[in-house]
Every structure is written in structure tokens, then in C-alpha cells.
Amino acid sequence: MNSGKNRCDHSQIDELLKSAPGQFEETVIISHLDHCPDCRNYLEHHAADMESWNEAARSLRETEFDVASSMEYSAAGIDSLKVSTPAAIQSVLDSLTPSEHPDRLGRLEGYEVTGVVGAGAMGVVLKAIDPALDRIVAIKVMATHIASHATARKRFAREAKAAAAVLHPNVIPIHAVSNSGAIPFLVMSYVRGGSLQKRIDREGALTTAEILRIGSQVAAGLAAAHDQGLVHRDIKPENILLDEGVERVTLTDFGLARSVDDASITQQGTITGTPQYMSPEQARGEFVDQASDLFSLGSVLYTLCTGRVPFRADSSLSVMRKIIDEEPAPILELNPEIPGWLRDIIAQLMAKNKTDRFKSAKDVHDLLEACLSHIQQPTVNKLPDGLRALSRSKSTSSLPLILGVCAMAVCSALVVWLTGGLGLIIQEPAPKTTPVVQQESTEASPAEAPLTWKALLGEEAPENYPTEPFQAIDGLNKTVGNWGFAGEQLLDGKGSEFEAVMQVQGGLSSDTISLGRMPSWHISILWPAMEPVFSLNFTVVPAIEPDGVKWLLFAASANDGKKHTSSESPVNVDPDAAFNVSKLLWAKAPGEKFFFEGTWDPASRTLNWKPQTPQMLGTKVGPAEHGREFQMIISENGGLQIRNFHQNDKQQISGQTAVRLGEYLKPGTDLKMLPNGYKIFFASSSEVLLVDKENGGVAGARVDKIGCSGSLIFGLITPREQVEKPEDTLGYFWLDSTTGEITKGMELGGWKDALKAKGVAQPMLLAPERVGPRL
């Protein structure tokens, strides 16, 4: 065909482009394109404009962020060769020889590959059948793209050699090694059950018994490796496998292991290992011996206790800096259920100076074993002597703190008291609803009746009431992750949207609880900030209606610490009509009374609270600057804004939510900001969680009943077997959130009397919950 410019028929190219891009074709017009630049040019421009071609090239190019899998830290030099995990798997699968069985992925030197277990920095782990022995094995195949890399091959060979040398029930057995073929691989036992990391991801912090069981087995495996002169160097939860059904823990991935005297491969200064679990000497790139594995084991145990890694930072480098310079957050603050002696063991494992750690992995194993026997049978097996002395002195020394009224210490003191003072350390998950507890529910007094829609409003729940329950907090080892109000702080008359979100981790699941949409809100505005004297309390109930959410004002009250004034509640508000809410008043000083009146303006959907001139004779009107105006704007779509027009007051907001659980409205999360800046959560029926000012330190404790009345928060603590009669409680505490004062009582008679003495006649118990179905 002539390639002359004018004779080319571009309509054929148009047709070509429009036709489905199925398979390659070879036609006359296509072979014309082989040598006609003009037609090619035409084709390019009519396929898409130049900008699109460039955009496509730029957009589809791989970047370093394409791999969204978990972090992989391999040795320097290998990182640059990393390809995306799916691609690594694909390339390994592509290299297999076809299998005769159609349901298998392929064959690798006699092994029938049936699946992919996972992929890591260095290779891919396949699941396969060993036909010779008819057993299932795991085959670790070096990733094809690094198989040509000499260092990687050496490291792989070393792993094989190291792992094969250690024969121990807690170390993964190596069946075969192939280092001669194009792609080296390693045949290991197949462990059904997944890694410890998966377990942590799923469950968060573990129980003390589990931590000891896993810790002692890892220590045993390490001891065996250390006996062979090996240092594992990469002890982390991903490398600890849990056998399904069998209580056995297996140490795997000797990919970074090396003999202490083998300095040939890893150069000085080359960083290997996972930063989060590295020892300080590893982080500094120094000589590493067995003591380094002990530090990493300590970090793993720390993670098991708290559900999070000890050193967290934005980059590997910062993590390593922290490992070298900083102490991790105290375990006590993150999980007060961990006994003091275990915290001490972990602290010793994680000593910055390696000579301060335990002498050997064997010693650690023996110690953890002894501790495990103790908690399994406390009366038969005593704690090892050194540990007992240590934990006793700790719990007594915390008592003076508890009795202190220092506001800053309130939160941690509360927890210390709950765990240490009463010795109420609960290792096992709370028992599922027992018959005894169920009985309690049916006999519950009216004050303890579940907060149902009906109880709140005196009517049946509307048909379109949200049926999706909030996720229950199952009450086990929970810690609060992030929480916060999405909105501006309620200051200086700026609008604020009251929307709160809380994440709770640990226990049986991780939950995110939106506090922003809930059956009822209890809002307290307290001031002044440091020493709240007044509180203005509202209960509002949002009703889901076809055209949006409506907030119904349920009750309003004011409290000045002496007087408690309530509105004529319940006040059901018709949002479409103007109305006045009852006056609220309090006296700041004798003869000085303040009146507030709430007025609902349907047009702006605003509830204004204004100081009112008192109508009674003989009362003195407070000076104008004492007047405070509040405004609540309730939007048609369910938003709630609170405005304060008083400039100097910083408000404390407390929100309280009742979580709908099954047929109950389960009071589930209650949140108070204490005057000292701490926040206290009742994260479940039986847990108190405390968050410090920086939202960092979180502590929790388990109590059996929690309640509140005004600013008073109280908890009842009973041993598990004695929940039958709350009056028989072993102890109780209350916390005055206005003063930060904490008071406790032990066997001082009925808790109800104690509360009466405090002026609380009808407490609202927040824990009738055990009766509710658990989700």
C-alpha cells in the first residue's frame, strides 16, 4: 500500500479505534500503520488527546504507595527491590510448573501447591501437599525478583540453615531446603491458626494467663535457638504462630537470624529487623547478641498486655529513636488488669542496658512458667519470691495517693485503688449472663429498670426508630482509642456542633461508637471551669422522623451544689410551636437568685436561655455581668448546637448516651470531663476508663455497677460470685466530679444508705445491663 500522505484513508483508522479492542488483528490497514507515521499520528490523536495520554502514563505508573499491606521492613538494599505483594505472589505462582490436578495452583519440585498463605518482604509462603508423606506443608519461596540478588540468596540460605539447626517444639520444624534451583525455597511444617499478630489485631490485649502461656513458650523456643548460638533478631508477633486447637506457640522466620560470631553478611550499621520490636542496640546498629531477643520478647509481651506496640512514631527512624531514648507508656495506664509483677518482668526484659535484662531466655521461660502455675492455681502455687515482695510493696505504696484529693491525681488514683486497693484483678473475661444475674434483672427496682424508650417518654417506640443497635462494648479489656467532639469548643459564643465519636479497642472486638446519634443526650454545662459551681442540665431525645431528626427536650434542671431545680419535666416540645420552658433558678449567695427562662423559637429552631428579672418581692437581681445566656440550636436535620454568650466561662460538657442493645436501651457510654481536664468514660456497664488531658494516658478498671447523680459518680465493686445482692457489696466509691474528691467505702453497710448520706435518694444506675443480651 502506498504510504503517501494524501492517499491514506483515515476513516478506516476511525473504524479500527471504535471497534472493540478484543484481540490483536493483522489486517491490511494495520500493516499500513507499520510504516506510515502520518496514520499513526492520526490514530494517536483520535484515540485520545495528548493530555490524556500523558495523564494515563503518569497516573498508572507505580508509586511507592501502591502497597497498602502491612509494613514490611527488610534489610537495607532489599527494600528498593520490593514489588507490590500481589505481584510478588503472581510471579511466584507463574514460576510453578502446571499440576495435573485442576484444583491446584501448580507444582514445585514434587510439592503440589494448593494455596497462598501469605507474602512478606523476602518471599511468598505457599500451602502445599507433600505427596511423598501425604502431609500439608508450608513452602517459603523466595520472591522471584530478589532470587537473583546475592545478599538475599545468602540470607535465605542462612535462614534455612539456622532454622533447621534448632529442634524444639516451639520452633518451626524445617523439612527440606532447596537452594539449587532457579528459585530457592524452604519446606516447613504448616501451622494452622495464624500468627500472634492476627490475634492481636482481632482481640487487642490478651489476658494475663494467655500472655504468660505465650511468653513462656516463646522464651523456650528462644532458649533453644540461643543454645545453638543463634540470635533470632526479629522477634515480633508476626513471627509467632499459634496452633489452632493446640496450646502450642511456634517461633518462625529465622530470616534475620545469625550466629553471634557470624559478622560476614550483615554489615555494621545495617539495620535489620522490625523497628517496633527492635532492641536499643539493634536500633543503634550495634553488635547484637541474645539479650537483644529478650528485649524484643519484652516488647511483644508489652503489646500483648496493652494491645499496642510500646514505641509508636511516624517513621521507622523515629521509632528507633524512641526505642533508644524513651520509656514506653506505663502498662498500668493502658491496662490496669495486668498484675504488677508481670509489669515488672516486662520492664526488666525491656531494660535499655542489656546487662540489666534477665540472664538468659531459659531464666525467662522458668519464671513465666512459675507465674502461669500461680495464676492457674493461686493457692497451690505461690508466685516466685522476688516477684511477690515487689508487687506487695507497690500496692501499699499507692494508698496515700488514693486518699488524696489532689485533682490531678484523681484519675490514676481511682484505678490504682480499684485494682490495688481491693485486689480486684480480673484475668478472665466476665462470665456470660448467669442465671443469678438474670434473676437480678427481673427483680430490679424501678430505679434500676432498663432505660427504654417507653421509660423515657412514656410511649411506645416509634416504628421507624433506629433498629441497628450500636455496637455493644463487650466489657473486656477495653481501652479507648481516639475520641473527641467533632466540632469547635464551646467558647466565646461560637457555634458548636455536638457530635462525638469514640473508638474502643480490645476485648472481643474493636468498636467505633458514634456518640453523635443516640437515643438520648444528657448535656451538662458546668462552670467555672476549674471549680464548677453551677450546672445546667438537659436531657434531649432525638426522634427519627421521616423528614429528619427532631430533638425533643425531655428535662432541664439547674444545680448549684445546694439546690436542684428541675423543669416541669418531662417537657415534650412541639418544634413547630413557640413555647416557654419552666424557669430555672439558683442562688449564688443568700438572697441573690438567678432566673433563667427557656424560649423556643420555631423559626430559628433555637432554644434561648435568658436571665429573667425575678418577679418575686424581696429578691435581689444579680448584677448584669452575672447574667449568662445559653442558646441551643436544634437543626431540623438533627444537629444540635449549643452557644454560650458569656465570654469568660469555659464550659465543661458532659455527654451521656444510652446504647440500644436488643430490646433494652443499654446505658453504654457515659463521658464526663472532669474539672482537672481528665475525662472519665463508662465504657460499658462495668468499666471505667480514664483519659488524661492529652488524651494519651488511658486507664481502665472494672466495677460492677456504675451510676451517677448530678456531679456525683459512683461505682460498686463486688467480687464476681457476689453480684446476687448489690447491698452486700464489698466496696464502693464515689467521685465528685465538681471537686475531684474521691471517697471510698468498704463493707460499710448498704451502698444505698451511703448514697443517701451523700444526698442521693434515687440514683440513676447505669448498670442494669448484665441482664441485657450480650452482642
Partner 1 sequence: MTEFPQTRASLIAQVRSSEDREAWDQFVFIYRPVLYRMARRRGLQDADAQDVVQTILMRVAASIHRWEQTSPETKFHHWLRRVARNAMISAFTRQPKEAAAGGSEMFEMLAEQPEDIAGIEEELAIETMREHYLRAAAIVKGDVDPETWQAFELTVVRGQSCDEVATTLQKSIGAVYVARGRVMRRLRGQVQSMQENDR
Closer to partner 1 by CB, 9 or 636: give it: 636
The residues in 638-677 that bind partner 1, with binding defined as CB under 8 A, are 638-639
Q: Which of 1, 5, 10, 52 binds partner 1 (CB under 8 A)?
A: 52
Closer to partner 1 by CB, 636 or 724: give it: 636
The answer to the question of residue 65 lying near partner 1 (CB under 8 A) is yes
Q: Which of 9, 55, 325, 327 binds partner 1 (CB under 8 A)?
A: 55
Phi, psi for 129 (deg, rounded to 5): -105, 130
The answer to the question of residue 40 lying near partner 1 (CB under 8 A) is yes
Q: Under rule CB under 8 A, how many of the chain's residues touch partner 1?
A: 75
Q: How far is the CB of 517 from partner 1 (least distance, A)?
A: 6
Q: How far is the CB of 271 from partner 1 (least distance, A)?
A: 16
Instruction: Please choose, from the candidates 415, 393, 301, 306, the residue with its C-alpha nearest in 3D space to the C-alpha of residue 348.
Output: 301
The CA radius of gyration of the chain, in Å to the nearest whole number, is 33
Q: How far is the CB of 57 from partner 1 (least distance, A)?
A: 5
Residue found under cell 531514648: 325
- Four-residue CA torsion sign, 453, 454, 459, 463: positive
The residues in 454-513 that bind partner 1, with binding defined as CB under 8 A, are 466, 468, 470-471, 481-489, 499, 501, 503, 510-513
Joined grid coordinates for residue 184: 530457592
Show Cβ contacts of residue 521 under 8 Å, excluding neighbours closer than 6 positions: 498, 538, 539, 540, 541, 542, 640, 655, 656, 657
The answer to the question of residue 30 lying near partner 1 (CB under 8 A) is yes
Closer to partner 1 by CB, 60 or 617: give it: 60
Joined grid coordinates for residue 89: 505472589
Closer to partner 1 by CB, 310 or 707: give it: 310
Contact between 305 and 205 (Cβ < 8 Å):
yes
Q: How far is the CB of 645 from partner 1 (least distance, A)?
A: 19
Rounded distance, CA 298 to CA 683, Å?
29
The answer to the question of residue 353 lying near partner 1 (CB under 8 A) is no
Rounded distance, CA 608 to CA 581, Å?
10
Q: Going residue by residue from 616 to 635, which x/- string records binding to partner 1, judged by CB under 8 A?
A: -------------------x
Q: How far is the CB of 187 from partner 1 (least distance, A)?
A: 30
Rounded to the nearest 10°, the torsion over CA 212, 217, 218, 224 is 150
- DSSP labels, 226-292: HHTTEE-----GGGEEE-SSS--EEE---TT-EETT--SSSPTT---S-GGG--HHHHTT----HHH
Q: Which of 9, 10, 69, 327 binds partner 1 (CB under 8 A)?
A: 69
Q: How far is the CB of 142 from partner 1 (least distance, A)?
A: 24
The stretch among 29-37, 123-131, 177-185, 576-584 that binds partner 1 (CB under 8 A) is: 29-37
The residues in 675-704 that bind partner 1, with binding defined as CB under 8 A, are 691, 695
Closer to partner 1 by CB, 42 or 579: give it: 42
The answer to the question of residue 7 lying near partner 1 (CB under 8 A) is no
The stretch among 32-40, 234-242, 330-338, 720-728 that binds partner 1 (CB under 8 A) is: 32-40
Instruction: Please choose, from the candidates 490, 488, 489, 486, the residue with its C-alpha nearest in 3D space to the C-alpha of residue 646.
Output: 490
Q: Long-range contacts: 688-696, Cβ < 8 Å, 24+? A: 688/414, 688/415, 688/418, 688/715, 689/478, 689/479, 689/480, 690/411, 690/412, 690/414, 690/415, 691/480, 691/483, 692/411, 695/482, 695/483, 695/484, 696/329
The residues in 548-587 that bind partner 1, with binding defined as CB under 8 A, are 548-549
The residues in 297-316 that bind partner 1, with binding defined as CB under 8 A, are 314-315
Joined grid coordinates for residue 131: 505427596
Closer to partner 1 by CB, 670 or 704: give it: 670
The stretch among 28-36, 184-192, 237-245, 360-368 that binds partner 1 (CB under 8 A) is: 28-36
